[in-house]
Structure 1
């Protein structure tokens, strides 16, 4: 490419620093007097002399101007002490979320016996949580895009903590239903912890780091089962609800340490605050920021729903909505099916293809053996995570999700037959390993594919569809199962196979891709 000999003015949304080593380097100068969100930049040819960049401004005077983006800074700083700290703090939100989710499969059988609830009312206790999460996911995503990732996350966790503790004192079924719905409303903001976390990570570490966040989810589910094994036989479900809110309480105690995302600050026009955050990260990691000026790009219109359906993102948005729906539908379905199937003779189900309806006064508490088997199936998420951890950075995000859906369907098929308790536990173990691993991959893919201006909103809307799937699944796993086991299993198999196809048809593979700041950024 020949160097340009004269400058030319162009107007565009964002200037992106070219890669080092290009034959021609271009430097943008912002017109400080303009009042629009656009930047008017003078593009001029430049020669690289002794590692410095010389640019010509519109008046012909030469100045030295080195610039760097947030991506450049994070790549130089790398993954270090700061990222480990924020992994722990945001991970606490995931522990709290997973404990609140896992408690649903334990609370149902207990309340069925204590309060003589019919099966549809037991299912409604689970569904009302997801109704709250579905409505709030959109709200928290919008708040995080407009007012900050930290703001949305902290408010939602405080909300969940308050109503989580209150629900332990529910006097009657109606109160419990309402308070658990409010808990779900708060928990709906948990996915914004991934949005915040991902925006502090360098490209090379992002996939594996977000996948490792799943360790906190698994720790939460395992902790909930162990807590139930200790608490339920003696103290009862009220103590279980109260103690399950502890991780969220710890997160709220540590949230003062959390900084705001520097990407959000840059997009909001708060360049100095972004520099302060990046300086703090560099200091804690023992590194130095790149020399030069941080590129500033202010955009006032953030978190716009219409941007999700722009020409670039409408197909991605629709496919991801279905994929998130399917992951939640399948994951929480297998969690709820586990306790239901453990309480029933599998051979009787296979021969009769349905479970005999039980009288509301006839109940069966979860036994120690049930809790231990539940613990084993929960531990399946660890090997599933390890397998997908390597696949996500070698096969890519799309193929990893497709494989997880396919393997989940494959492991559901043996449940059609008459199998014993041990075989049932093994197949549920494998199915849960793959569906939980795949669920984490979509948490990696979604913040990578959406730009900063709609990243939180994209996560929020996707999470809302996941909650719809989780809302519906109790009526399949706990209600439809009593009508037809074959139909129940077929619904889960069919849904996961369709989601595998949707994963393959996603138009963008984000492996090794930098996070975009704006929808106008070119794919880097």
Structure 2
């Protein structure tokens, strides 16, 4: 028992025959992998207590043959990544692209409306905050809908909602109408993260992190496309045309959403085994692979999507830490997006006049339109999304999810520090570029980690509540990046720096490292699994609820 630090791959199968409690597995040399005495148990053996044991070879020679079975996880692993996942990537990616454009547009139309309608600073901040208010209150609702009625239902409904109210907001006659309609747009955008829930449940374990991060390229593409669209539209056609044309990705999504399949994991958990098998066969045919032989195991669970299930003893610490991490991430990310526009208009962090920037006397109704140089700088900092994605892609499977998140938060804080000095416009652009790359990477790791840590029964709700906390951070950040900035640049920068340092610590305190683990299904099953994982992290080896001790492959 001296080599528990080693990693052993133990294959297993769930037996439903009530006469069988433990199946004895044999190695290649025919030696048993189990032992009745714990002190005699070797490094390649499993110790069992208080259980009837049946030899696998003997059982197969009996009169009652055992039917082969497989789970959705087994089927997804066997089918692998192929043509089906590529098509799904594009369709779900369009929802991300639309989400990015609707958020990016806030930093573009705010200065325009500020000048056109002579709005005071607090009303300009409210234009941004009302969108995030809608997101915050709807994220949990869309998660609950997706857990109870299906991932496809939730995602399709919210995208149709955003399309309708997003296009309608282009015809807003006054400030009050813009507030109401953009708030309703935000209510729909709160369901966009459910595309990750749906997408992740079709991905094999080996490629899950890579695929989820790569689909975030659509977010970066959406942000870049919005800036390019603004450069083309704003000088000649105005903000109304920009709002209307920004719904283009949603039109494409709604047109092709009939193809979108329901998650077989959700179907199995809700008792629709036939639908799950039909979907899995279609995926296998599309990818040119064969399905596993046998019968699909269905672990039906009637109660799904309850918030209190996220706060049970095995998930409470994880949930609370994730809520803060998502809050800090969105608070810093959206804050930097808004801060970019404000700092570029000011010229530098100290308010000193620099080349290409002009200052005007300060007053409550002070107004300044975005110039072409402002749009170009905004485009350059938006392009930082791409290196952030690739850096995250490189480290996430090498150092793990927790350390990757902590690294991104820490590097963001480091990049904020030089802004305390009176840096010029070029240096300002460089540091904001790097900071945005890392805070973007932190967001992507959170989107990989969250669906991995929760079971299918609460996965959509878990992402929904985390997204709701993130929107809460995004709701508050305009008052820091746009209002507090007018009072003190240094205090504004300090707020973002402190939050990201705290998020660094929170990332390292997460109790579960999900790298290399399969997606969990029923929450009833995962309660024991969670205890087992926690014990493995703290002790290196720990008896599980079935009194089985084995070599840990879990990384703390």
Give TM-score, length-normalised by structure 2: 0.84
Q: Contact (CA 8 Å) 1:17, 1:69: kept in 2 or not?
A: no
Counterpart of 2:506 in structure 1 is 502
What SS does the corresponding residue of 1:63 show, helix, strand or coil?
coil
Match of 1:111 among 110, 113, 132: 113
Mapping for residues 374-393 of structure 1, pairs under 5 Å: 374-393=378-397
Match of 2:325 among 307, 323, 326: 323
Counterpart of 1:77 in structure 2 is 79
Match of 2:434 among 430, 433, 454: 430
Mapping for residues 255-266 of structure 1, pairs under 5 Å: 255-266=257-268
Mapping for residues 312-461 of structure 1, pairs under 5 Å: 312-346=314-348, 348-349=350-351, 358-461=362-465
User: How far is 1:46 from its partner?
Assistant: 4.5
Q: Contact (CA 8 Å) 2:105, 2:226: kept in 1 or not?
A: yes
User: How far is 1:286 from its partner?
Assistant: 0.1
Match of 1:476 among 454, 475, 480: 480
What SS does the corresponding residue of 1:45 show, helix, strand or coil?
strand
Q: What does the per-residue CA deviation read over 1:428-487, in whole Å, with 9 as the maximum and x for residues that have no partner?
A: 000000000110110000000000000000000000000000000000000000011111
Across the aligned residues of Structure 1 and Structure 2, the Cα RMSD in angstroms comes to: 2.5
Mapping for residues 174-323 of structure 1, pairs under 5 Å: 174-323=176-325
Counterpart of 2:48 in structure 1 is none
Q: What does the per-residue CA deviation read over 1:228-280, in whole Å, with 9 as the maximum and x for residues that have no partner?
A: 00000000000000000110111111110000000000000000100000000
Q: Contact (CA 8 Å) 2:23, 2:54: kept in 1 or not?
A: no
Q: What does the per-residue CA deviation read over 1:118-162, in whole Å, with 9 as the maximum and x for residues that have no partner?
A: 111011010000000001001000000000000000000100100
User: How far is 1:363 from its partner?
Assistant: 1.2
User: How far is 1:8 from its partner?
Assistant: 8.6
User: How far is 1:305 from its partner?
Assistant: 1.2
CA distance in 1, matches of 2:61, 2:231: 68
CA distance in 2, matches of 1:99, 1:342: 20
Counterpart of 2:540 in structure 1 is none
User: How far is 1:64 from its partner?
Assistant: 3.0
Judging changes above 3 Å, is the alpha-carbon distance between structure 1 residues 446 and 470 closer, same or farther for their aligned structure 2 residues?
same
Judging changes above 3 Å, is the alpha-carbon distance between structure 1 residues 347 and 208 closer, same or farther for their aligned structure 2 residues?
closer
What SS does the corresponding residue of 1:375 show, helix, strand or coil?
helix
Q: Does 1:129 align with 2:131?
A: yes
Q: Contact (CA 8 Å) 1:24, 1:46: kept in 2 or not?
A: no
Q: Contact (CA 8 Å) 1:95, 1:217: kept in 2 or not?
A: yes
What SS does the corresponding residue of 2:434 show, helix, strand or coil?
helix
User: How far is 1:384 from its partner?
Assistant: 1.1
Q: Contact (CA 8 Å) 2:265, 2:521: kept in 1 or not?
A: yes
User: How far is 1:334 from its partner?
Assistant: 0.4
CA distance in 2, matches of 1:179, 1:90: 24
Q: What does the per-residue CA deviation read over 1:411-440, in whole Å, with 9 as the maximum and x for residues that have no partner?
A: 001111101000000000000000001101
Counterpart of 2:515 in structure 1 is 511
Counterpart of 1:54 in structure 2 is 60
Q: Contact (CA 8 Å) 1:356, 1:482: kept in 2 or not?
A: no
CA distance in 2, matches of 1:195, 1:46: 40
Q: What does the per-residue CA deviation read over 1:358-417, in whole Å, with 9 as the maximum and x for residues that have no partner?
A: 335431100111000100000011111111101011111000000000000000011111
Counterpart of 2:54 in structure 1 is 45
CA distance in 2, matches of 1:268, 1:17: 29
CA distance in 1, matches of 2:287, 2:128: 43
Judging changes above 3 Å, is the alpha-carbon distance between structure 1 residues 17 and 185 closer, same or farther for their aligned structure 2 residues?
farther
What SS does the corresponding residue of 1:229 show, helix, strand or coil?
helix
Judging changes above 3 Å, is the alpha-carbon distance between structure 1 residues 498 and 20 closer, same or farther for their aligned structure 2 residues?
farther
Judging changes above 3 Å, is the alpha-carbon distance between structure 1 residues 245 and 55 closer, same or farther for their aligned structure 2 residues?
farther
Judging changes above 3 Å, is the alpha-carbon distance between structure 1 residues 48 and 210 closer, same or farther for their aligned structure 2 residues?
farther
Counterpart of 1:37 in structure 2 is none
User: How far is 1:345 from its partner?
Assistant: 2.9
Judging changes above 3 Å, is the alpha-carbon distance between structure 1 residues 10 and 322 closer, same or farther for their aligned structure 2 residues?
farther
CA distance in 2, matches of 1:425, 1:443: 27
Q: Contact (CA 8 Å) 2:24, 2:54: kept in 1 or not?
A: no
Q: Contact (CA 8 Å) 2:401, 2:513: kept in 1 or not?
A: yes
CA distance in 2, matches of 1:95, 1:72: 31
CA distance in 2, matches of 1:463, 1:284: 33
Give TM-score, length-normalised by structure 1: 0.89
Q: Does 1:492 align with 2:496?
A: yes
User: How far is 1:348 from its partner?
Assistant: 3.7
Judging changes above 3 Å, is the alpha-carbon distance between structure 1 residues 80 and 472 closer, same or farther for their aligned structure 2 residues?
same
Judging changes above 3 Å, is the alpha-carbon distance between structure 1 residues 21 and 468 closer, same or farther for their aligned structure 2 residues?
farther
User: How far is 1:9 from its partner?
Assistant: 4.2
Judging changes above 3 Å, is the alpha-carbon distance between structure 1 residues 17 and 111 closer, same or farther for their aligned structure 2 residues?
farther
User: How far is 1:107 from its partner?
Assistant: 1.0
Judging changes above 3 Å, is the alpha-carbon distance between structure 1 residues 357 and 258 closer, same or farther for their aligned structure 2 residues?
farther
Structure 1 unmatched runs, 5+: 2-6, 26-41
Q: Contact (CA 8 Å) 2:132, 2:183: kept in 1 or not?
A: yes
User: How far is 1:17 from its partner?
Assistant: 11
